[in-house]
């Protein structure tokens, strides 16, 4: 598969990845491979009415079926789930796979407008392990000449296309 052979993926031990929505690159097979290779997998928990997001550890690919569906139709650990490790409370992250609505060739990313990933990356930069490598998973038709950005937007390190 296109992501699994990537050198950054191969060398990473602690990986954050989004649980895909129907209009996004599907991540289920990548998540299964993370566990197959003995890596640690973290998924987002978004806090509504804010731009705060945590990356919480999954114990297995099957663990996804125990997650609650939010009003945004996203599966994530419940607010009362305090047993999972938050990536930045432990060893940080090596790699974050990021979703997006649009991208440009400079690595700028158009998200859903809340700034969750940008804010999380700011927190990563303060962690002893530093900023993880970031890869956006995209369809070719999502890449355009430019996307609107603000000074708070953090560009991605690399964009991978589903058919690359």
Binding-site residue set for substrate: 19, 24
Q: Annotated binding residues, as ranges?
A: 19, 24, 109-117
User: Where are the extended beta strands (E) located within 30-163?
Assistant: 40-46, 53-58, 68-69, 75-76, 95-98, 102-104, 109-110, 133-138, 143-144, 158-161
Can you say which residues are annotated as belonging to the binding site for ATP? 109-117
Beta strands 14-16; 95-98: pairing state: parallel
What are 164's strand-pairing partners? none
Q: From CA 7, how far away is CA 113, in angstroms rounded? A: 30
Specify burial of residue 55 (Cβ count, 10 A radius: 0-12, 13-18, 19+): buried
Distance CA 95, CA 88 (A): 13
């Amino acid at each position: 598969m296109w992501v699994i052979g990537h050198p950054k993926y191969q060398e990473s031990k602690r990986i954050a990845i989004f649980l895909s929505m129907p209009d996004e690159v599907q991540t289920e097979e990548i998540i299964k491979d993370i566990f197959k290779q003995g890596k640690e997998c973290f998924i987002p928990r978004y806090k509504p009415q804010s731009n705060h997001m945590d990356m919480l550890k999954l114990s297995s690919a099957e663990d996804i079926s125990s997650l609650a569906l939010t009003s945004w139709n996203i599966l994530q650990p419940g607010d009362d789930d305090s047993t999972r490790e938050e990536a930045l409370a432990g060893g940080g992250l090596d790699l974050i796979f990021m979703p997006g609505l649009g991208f440009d060739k400079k690595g700028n990313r158009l998200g859903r407008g809340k700034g969750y990933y940008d804010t999380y990356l700011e927190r990563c930069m303060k962690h002893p392990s530093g900023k993880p490598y970031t890869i956006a998973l995209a369809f070719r038709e999502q890449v355009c000449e430019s996307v609107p950005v603000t000074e708070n937007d953090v560009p991605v390190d690399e964009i991978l296309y589903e058919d690359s």
